[in-house]
A = this chain, B = another copy of it.
Amino acid sequence: MRHWSQARRREGASLGFVPTMGALHEGHLSLVRRSRGECGATVVSIYVNPLQFGPGEDLERYPRPLERDAALLDREEVDALFLPRREEMLPPGFTTKVVPGPLGDRYEGRSRPGHFAGVLTIVAKLFAIVGPDRAYFGRKDAQQLALVARMARDLDLPVEIVPCPTVREPDGLAFSSRNAYLSPGQRTSALCLHRALERARAAWAGGERRGAALREVLRQGIRAGPEVALDYAAVVDPDTFEEGEGTLATALALLAVRVGSTRLIDNSRLDSPAQ
């Protein structure tokens, strides 16, 4: 992989990189298209990163439709598909980790201890191997995006982190590889995430600026569905992820919900028109 990247760089190509865990959907493909439009060559990696799964999470049953993924990427004319093996990524004796600051312990990090250290460690490795000029991440994983961007700044990694919009199905459900776990009934219940976010956006548009009140709108939106359990609902500063007191100037709404046994997350800027 490194030799391939170095050869492209010697040819003068800029390198775009889309790291994924496979089970590709329109969200991933939007990142690939963005990279193809902006970079001379595009690399996609598929690696189901065991470090970012906690005990009892869905590492083993995480979908791995490799042939389908490869065909999709072929159709998008990506230049390279990187499929590192687990023994190569995490050989015996592997111990060094890249760990986030306190933001890594909140929201997703509180629900999934060690998750973000697992993400950052593997993303740092992939960056070091692929050596991209730009790397593309979806806004759906807002906290992951913030922590990866923070890592790139903090460690002076020579890569530009490009945030990309969340892609949704026509009814508003954000694309996620984990949507495949949902039964038809759960699929309908899962719409509560987008609906709750839309209600919070409507409240913001109507002038509501109090964090606690906006959070309550989110909670009420989730309370509605059957088979649905709220993990967290938060309204935070989009840059710092701090929950603001009093009147907010900007706001990012975060939601994590369990639908049946499937954990789904979604988020939305409340203060910007398009998502």
A residues contacting B by CB (< 8 A) are 2, 93-103, 120-121, 124-125, 128-129, 131, 147, 150-151, 154-158
Contacts and interface: CB of A to CB of B under 8 A. Distances in A.
A86 to B, nearest CB: 14
Given A99-B99, A125-B154, A131-B158, 19 more contacts: A2-B158, A93-B150, A94-B154, A95-B100, A95-B101, A95-B154, A96-B99, A96-B147, A96-B150, A96-B154, A96-B155, A97-B98, A97-B99, A98-B155, A125-B155, A125-B156, A128-B155, A128-B156, A128-B157
A109 B155 CA distance: 22
A19 B120 CA distance: 25
Contacts of A93: 150
18 contacts: A95-B100, A95-B101, A95-B102, A95-B150, A95-B154, A96-B99, A96-B150, A96-B151, A97-B98, A97-B99, A98-B98, A98-B99, A99-B99, A121-B155, A124-B155, A125-B155, A128-B157, A129-B156
Contacts of A128: 155-158
Nearest to A239: B93
A94 B156 CA distance: 11
Contacts of A158: 2, 128, 131
Contacts of A95: 100-103, 150, 154
A118 B99 CA distance: 12
A107 to B, nearest CB: 15
B120 A96 contact: yes
Instruction: Give 7 closest A-B pairs by Cβ, nearest first.
Output: A95-B101, A96-B154, A128-B156, A96-B151, A125-B156, A129-B156, A128-B157
Contact of A100 (B96, B103, B131, B150): B96
Contact of A96 (B101, B125, B129, B131): B101
A48 to B, nearest CB: 18
A2 B159 CA distance: 12
Contacts of A94: 154
A120 B155 CA distance: 11
A155 B121 CA distance: 7
Nearest to A120: B96
**Residue among A98, A129, A150 having the largest count of chain B Cβ atoms under 10 Å:** A98
Nearest to A103: B95
